Amino acid sequence: MIAAFIRPSTWKPAPVDASRHAAALDAWGGLQVLVVGDVMVDEWRFADADRISREAPAPVLTLRRRQISAGGGGNAAANLAALGARAALAGWWGTTPPVNGSPPGSPPTASRTA
């Protein structure tokens, strides 16, 4: 019997100390951070699977929503700014053309304070 060899886990999560978390978030306030990294755009596509294609075993999707956001170093800088830090971004970008109808975006400035 395999079940005899499986032990239930004894691990339990530590209790949450809200004041400790609040202090950690407050520590980011006003902190100046330089993020050096690649600058890219992330595109998220949300769709519903309506049916399976007759030509191939693949779902046929109906696009419901697209979301475009900062990726790479831009994502890190945006997250730091959301925590209250003053984030500056220095990075580089390529000249890859838009794919599948993505809007062509102008490249961000080389240095920006959020």
Q: How many domains does the chain have?
A: 1
Residue 79 domain flag: yes
Residue 45 domain flag: yes
Residue 109 domain flag: no
Q: Which residue has the tokens 């755009």?
A: 41
Tokens of 7: 């032990």
Q: Which domain does 47 fall in, by range?
A: 27-90
Residue 74 domain flag: yes
Listed range (9-13, 30-34, 69-73, 88-92) with the worst mean pLDDT = 9-13
Residue 75 domain flag: yes
Residue 102 domain flag: no
Residue 63 domain flag: yes
Residue 71 domain flag: yes
Task: Burial-class residue 37 by CB neighbours within 10 Å (0-12, 13-18, 19+).
Answer: middle
Listed range (50-54, 97-101, 108-112) with the worst mean pLDDT = 108-112
